[in-house]
């Protein structure tokens, strides 16, 4: 059987708070809260029901810090939501959401490239 896996090379992300070279992307990771619906007659296992609201999760990215980068290329943590678009290789699949940049860390190793991790909290549904 032929392999059907996709390679992530050429995946792009656009968001107004930064520009940078993306090394990896984790997420999105939507979750649904549950309510324990067990009662006195429940036996052996707990019963659960799902709530109506889905937490759309977050997306984190490892990025390469560009040498001599302008301040506009450093992710801006703040409470302003704007469009986050992830375009997968071949532009055959794209997902978009409103997101807030909620975190940014820098990793400065000895004799290696400087990288950072940026995290976005999704607000509302993915499209």
Copy the structure tokens of residue 78. 């703040």
Question: Could you check whether the bond before residue 104 is cis, i.e. omega within 30 degrees of 0?
Answer: no
Euclidean distance between CA atoms 53 and 44, whole angstroms: 28
Higher confidence at residue 87 or residue 37?
37
Q: What is the mean pLDDT of residues 1-18?
A: 76
- The reported pLDDT for the residue numbered 73 is 56
Helix, strand, coil percentages (3-state) for the chain, rounded to 5, are 5, 50, 45
Q: Say if pTM beats, i.e. exceeds, 0.85.
A: no
């Amino acid at each position: 059987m032929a392999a059907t896996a996709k390679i992530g090379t050429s995946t792009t992300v656009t968001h107004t708070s930064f520009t940078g070279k993306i090394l990896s992307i984790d997420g999105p990771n939507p979750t649904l809260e549950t309510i324990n619906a067990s009662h006195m007659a429940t036996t052996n296992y707990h019963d659960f029901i799902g709530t109506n609201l889905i937490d759309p999760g977050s997306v984190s990215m490892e990025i390469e810090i560009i040498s001599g980068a302008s301040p506009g290329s450093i992710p801006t943590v703040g409470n302003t939501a704007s469009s986050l678009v992830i375009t997968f290789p071949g532009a055959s699949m794209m997902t978009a959401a409103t997101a807030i940049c909620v975190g940014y860390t820098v990793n400065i190793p000895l004799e290696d490239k400087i990288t950072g991790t940026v995290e976005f909290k999704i607000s509302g549904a993915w499209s």
